[in-house]
Each structure stands twice: as C-alpha cells, then as structure tokens.
Amino acid sequence: MNFKDFKKLVCNTRTTRRFKKDITIENIELEEVLDAARVVSSAKNMQPLKYITVTDKNVVKKLASTCQWAAHLEEWKQKEDEQPSAFIIVLNDTKIDGFAMLDCGIALNNIMLGLKIKGYSSCPLASIDKELCKELFSLGEKIEPLIGIAIGIEDETIKVVDVKLDTNYYRDEIDIHCVPKRDLNDVLIGKY
C-alpha cells in the first residue's frame, strides 16, 4: 500500500451512526481484526486490553438501544432499523498495570481501519452502558468496559468539510453527515 492509498483509507474511515439493517457479520471477521489489533503498540507493552465480540442480534439490540448516539445532533435519535450488526467491547484488565486509555486509542484506530478494509463501518462509543456490559457478559470486578465499537455497513453519506464556526458535526439540508476538520495549517504550529 502506498501513502496515497493509506490516506484515502484514513479519510474514508468515518464514524457511522446509521447502519443498513439485516446484515450478518460473522464472529471470525471480528476475530481477524482483533488478531491484528492485539499486536499493535502498547504502553510499557503491558497489554491490559481484552475484547468481547458481539454478533447475537438480541444482544446487539440491547447494547445499541442503550447507547447515546450523536450528541451534537439533538433532533436525531437512532431508529431501530439503523442499529449496527455487531459490537466489539474493549475492556481494561485492571490487574495489569498499564495505560489502558492510550492502548485503547491505538487499538481503536487499527480496529476501525481493519473493519473498513473488510467493508464495514464503525462507531466508537464511550456512552456504551458499562453496567449492562458487566451484567450481560458476567465481567469480574477486575475487568472494566472502556468503549463499545458499533459495527455494520453504513447507510449514510459522510463527508469531511472545512471548519467554519466550530468543529461540531452536523447534517446538512440534504441529510449528509458533515464532519468539520481543521486545516493542516491550523494544526501544524511549527517546523524547525
């Protein structure tokens, strides 16, 4: 893969909140992505992250219906037929002394890119119901849910736009999900 292809992959890996209904995702596909994510960098190489894959439609529905979707879109609520087809739950094993949130960011980025290569879109959710996860998956006291990653096939158009007033995402007049991003000149503040 050359850099141009890599940048295209990164630019097309957007957070999706509307998914096509009646899509089946096999557990093996999620396991393949996690097998790649497990070897990415880890602070102090402590590897405190654990994962749960969720493809059971009833469990996916429970998780999706308790999430907070698109906080900036106050007028919009995810409909049942827009819910994801699967989830990956990212967990912190607190028995392991590490920097779980740093590791989570590194792993999340690679998981999202891997899913996109497989033809899936995703949405990382800090708003996953952590108490529900503990109950559903019988998590011990040393395993803490960090985030949920909703997975499916996107059913919306998403485009990156220039920042005008602020960086809040929005839906335009034809319902395209617009994601404002700062210009390179605004984020690159020095060259020495």
What are the b/e assignments for 8-26, b being 16+ CB within 10 Å?
eeeeebbbbbbbeeeeebe
What DSSP element (H or E) covers 60? Answer: helix 57-66
The pair of structure tokens assigned to 37 is: 């994510």
What would the pLDDT profile of 66-89 be if each residue is shown by its tens digit?
Answer: 998 888 888 889 999 999 999 999
**Contacts by residues 6-9 (CB-CB < 8 Å, ≥ 24 positions apart):** 9/113, 9/116, 9/117
Contact 5, 59 (CB under 8 A): no
Distance CA 149, CA 93 (A): 18
Q: What is the pTM of this model?
A: 0.94
Radius of gyration of the chain (CA): 17
Closest CA to 50 of 112, 115, 95: 95
pLDDT of residue 75: 85
Sheet harboring 143-152: ordered strands across?
49-54, 86-93, 143-152, 121-125
What would the pLDDT profile of 20-36 be if each residue is shown by its tens digit?
Answer: 999 999 999 999 999 99
pLDDT of residue 129: 95
The more confidently predicted of residues 73 and 119 is 119
Distance CA 50, CA 142 (A): 11
- Full set of structural domains in the chain with CATH: 3-156 (3.40.109.10), 157-192 (2.20.180.10)
What would the pLDDT profile of 41-66 be if each residue is shown by its tens digit?
Answer: 999 999 999 999 999 999 999 999 99
Chain-wide mean pLDDT for the chain? 95
